[in-house]
Amino acid sequence: KLKQIESYGANVVRVEGTREDVARAAENSGHYYASHVLQPQFRDGIRSLAYEIARDFSPVKTVYLPTSAGTLLLGVYEGFRHMVESGAMREVPRLVAVQTEQVMPLCAKVKGLSYSPPKEVTSLADALVSTNPFLLREMEEVVRNYGDCVVVTEDEIASAWKELARRGVLVEYSSATTLAAYMKDRGKDSVLVLTGSGLKVL
């Protein structure tokens, strides 16, 4: 990702530590912290995914979402809520947040599980790395009211990735977590959100 950013001509400043350390460094430098987590426009853009799901997969009762920082979960929720409030849908589908055994702050909070953030994330699902997400409280409220949280293992992720590839769908491991969760949960009339290309893991 850094090489891609640099290829556009950006000057990348590396900061040791957590995302919070990066945010503080940006605030103190006078530079802009370009995190999608803090941009309301990004979440508005994600809302359109809910509109597409409702248009293309009616009826939909359950939506499985790989969950880390929370923008995907919250944006999709806001899209469905908008459709309910406008009369286009009767109810918000069951939204299932999917997390890994290594990084499961939301599932731990919702289900009362023991969880200690790892010092280093080594999961196959290398896009799901927010060990202490800024939006945790918002995510918890959505999951408690409209869904559930499912934790998947490394073996389950690898197996789901292989099954998707066998079916001709090449995704990153983080996306394959949704199939792994579905295989455990088996929600009715389900949509699995596959967010990232598998080219990066080959």
Domains of the chain: 1-34 (no CATH), 39-201 (3.40.50.1100)
Phi, psi of 133 (to 5 degrees): -65, 140
Bridge-based pairing state of the strands 94-100 and 147-152: parallel
- Please list, residue by residue across 2-17, b when 16 or more beta carbons sit within 10 angstroms of its beta carbon and e when fewer do: eeeeeeeeeeeeeeee
Q: Nearest CA to 76 among 86, 65, 68, 85?
A: 65
pLDDT confidence of residue 131: 94
pTM above 0.85, yes or no: yes
Helix then strand count (H, E) for the chain reads 8, 4
Amino acid at 91: E
pLDDT on residue 17: 84
pLDDT along the chain (202 residues), means of 10: 87 82 80 78 95 94 98 98 97 98 98 93 96 95 98 98 98 98 94 94 84
Residue with tokens 């010092």: 119
Can you tell me the distance from the alpha carbon of 84 to that of 140, in angstroms, rounded to the nearest whole number?
20
What pLDDT was estimated at residue 105? Answer: 98
CA–CA dist 34, 155 (Å, integer): 34
Secondary element (H or E) of residue 76: helix 71-85
Report the pLDDT value the prediction gives residue 128, as an integer from 0 to 100. Answer: 97
61, 190 contact by CB (below 8 A)? yes
Residue 61: per-residue pLDDT: 96
